[in-house]
């Protein structure tokens, strides 16, 4: 028999439902009162701003105002020197403030006037700079950035004088050297040009200073091309027409302005080691005068000129071509002429060999002629031979022709435009020429350099 006890009966709940939360089970009353903001901070002392009267006084002193007289900023009068107080301005605070405002306005007006003057001066400088930049851009677009040049337009002469470009210091810079036949179609011609330039020498000088002695200037010939040299050529003494350029010969006492062409006098140290060839430091381009060419008899009362274009294997010109033309026919074929200038002893100008530009093929350097005692012959042939002219001389002449033609299409002033129109109108007619739109000597223009040049 098992004994089981029944659970005691639950007492009946009194007043409400059983607890639903732990807090209610533990008898903790919920906080139903609204939240209170923390009490405001009350400082133990009153903060009083301190005024740096020295700074304020400095500002007012710049405007010549006595700040003490205004009574502002809590600044009181004080003795500034032994034996007395600082003098104060007379008048009310309002009057002093009015004076301060007038001083400030005057300062603003003065600053505005100075700024305006500065802007005007700056505008003039900017205008000159913009003109220089525009000129530089035009030169680069025309392929003339390697030259300093001058356009002549007178009743006696129309043409262009060009020299190697000089830097801001007035000295020729190696970076402006023109590289002969760089990236030319026929690499053998380019290599021959490099071989010729390797023989060039330049004047090197050294000022030796030894304590207790007079300074001594010593000179020697060193390998390397002088930056002002535009090639080598045989020259003709005292030719007619060179007197026009005497004023352009370099004068140490009165150097020309930046960008003005100056013809530099070179000496025996500047050589290519070829007898009778002289360093050319300037080029002149003008319309060809066929009356200066050597003739070879007559036909039907007209002078005849022999034109011989020799074979040049390096340029893949296999056969020699000889033609006999009347002077009129030569006028149709060769229209522009380029020649160099050499400054000899006592600053006498001498003329280099004349390079003749073919009217129908001005972009083909192989078609260029040279004036010789036999008439007209191939300029490229003689440049390769290196006895009358060298390849650098021919190439700089070629580059100048291309650049001058492009100048005729650029923004020039009225006088220059008229000169270019007459020169190119007489010299080139309607011939279309190849142009150098960029510096062909820089690596960044390899795409241009690699274009085929005939």
- Tens place of pLDDT per residue across the chain (454 aa): 556 666 666 655 555 566 666 666 766 666 666 666 666 666 565 555 555 555 556 666 666 666 566 665 555 555 444 444 445 445 556 666 677 767 777 776 776 676 656 555 554 544 444 444 444 545 554 568 889 999 888 888 889 999 999 877 778 888 889 999 988 999 999 999 999 999 999 988 788 888 888 888 888 888 899 999 999 999 998 777 778 898 889 887 777 788 889 999 998 999 999 999 999 999 999 999 999 999 999 999 999 999 999 999 999 999 999 999 999 999 999 989 999 999 998 889 999 999 999 988 888 999 999 999 999 999 999 999 999 999 999 999 999 998 888 776 666 677 777 777 777 765 444 334 444 444 445 544 444 444 444 4
354 within 8 A of 370, measured Cβ to Cβ = yes
Cα–Cα distance for residue pair 68/74, rounded to 1 Å = 9
Buried b (16+ CB within 10 A) or exposed e, 379-412: bbbbbbebebbbbbbbbbbbbbbbbbbbbbebeb
pTM: 0.64
Residue with tokens 């021919």, as numbered in its chain: 394
> CB count, 10 Å around CB of 20?
8
As separate numbers, helices (DSSP H) first and strands (DSSP E) second, the chain gives 10, 16
Cα–Cα distance for residue pair 267/449, rounded to 1 Å = 34
């Amino acid at each position: 028999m098992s004994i089981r006890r029944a659970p005691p009966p639950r007492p009946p709940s009194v007043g409400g439902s059983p607890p639903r939360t732990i807090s209610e089970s533990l008898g903790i009353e919920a906080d139903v009162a609204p939240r209170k903001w923390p009490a405001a901070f009350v400082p133990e002392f009153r903060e009083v701003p301190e005024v740096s009267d020295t700074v304020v006084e400095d500002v007012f002193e710049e405007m010549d105002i006595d700040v003490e007289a205004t009574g502002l900023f809590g600044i009181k009068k004080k003795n500034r020197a032994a034996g007395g107080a600082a003098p104060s301005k007379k008048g009310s605070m309002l009057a002093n403030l009015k004076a301060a405002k007038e001083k400030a306005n005057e300062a603003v007006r003065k600053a505005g006037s100075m700024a305006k003057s500065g802007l005007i001066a700056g505008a003039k400088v900017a205008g000159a700079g913009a003109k220089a930049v525009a000129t530089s851009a035009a030169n680069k677009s025309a392929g003339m950035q390697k030259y300093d040049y001058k356009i002549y337009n007178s009743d006696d002469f129309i043409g262009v004088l060009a020299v190697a470009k000089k830097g801001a210091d007035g000295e020729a810079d190696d970076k402006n050297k023109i590289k002969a036949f760089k990236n030319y179609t026929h690499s053998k011609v380019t290599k021959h040009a490099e071989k010729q330039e390797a023989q060039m020498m330049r004047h090197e000088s050294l000022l030796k200073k030894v304590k207790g002695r007079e300074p001594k200037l010593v000179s020697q010939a060193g390998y390397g091309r002088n930056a002002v040299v535009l090639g080598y050529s045989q020259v003709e003494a005292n030719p007619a027409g060179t007197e026009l350029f005497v004023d352009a010969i370099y004068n140490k006492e009165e150097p020309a302005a930046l960008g003005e062409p100056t013809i530099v006098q070179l000496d025996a140290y500047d050589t290519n080691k070829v007898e009778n060839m002289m360093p050319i430091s300037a080029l002149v381009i003008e319309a060809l005068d066929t009356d200066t060419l050597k003739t070879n008899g007559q036909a039907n009362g007209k002078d005849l000129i022999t034109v011989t274009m020799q074979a040049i294997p390096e340029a893949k010109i296999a056969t020699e071509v000889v033609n006999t033309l009347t002077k009129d026919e030569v006028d149709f074929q060769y229209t522009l002429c380029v020649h160099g200038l050499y400054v000899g002893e006592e600053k006498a100008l001498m003329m280099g060999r004349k390079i003749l530009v073919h009217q129908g093929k001005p972009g083909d350097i192989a078609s260029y002629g040279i004036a010789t005692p036999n008439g007209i012959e191939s300029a490229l042939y003689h440049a390769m031979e290196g006895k009358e002219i060298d390849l650098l001389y021919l190439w700089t002449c070629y580059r100048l022709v291309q650049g001058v033609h492009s100048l005729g299409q650029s923004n020039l002033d009225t006088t220059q435009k008229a000169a270019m129109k007459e020169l190119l109108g007489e010299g080139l007619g309607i011939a279309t020429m190849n142009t150098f739109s960029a510096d062909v000597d820089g690596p960044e223009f390899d795409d241009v350099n690699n274009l085929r040049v005939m």
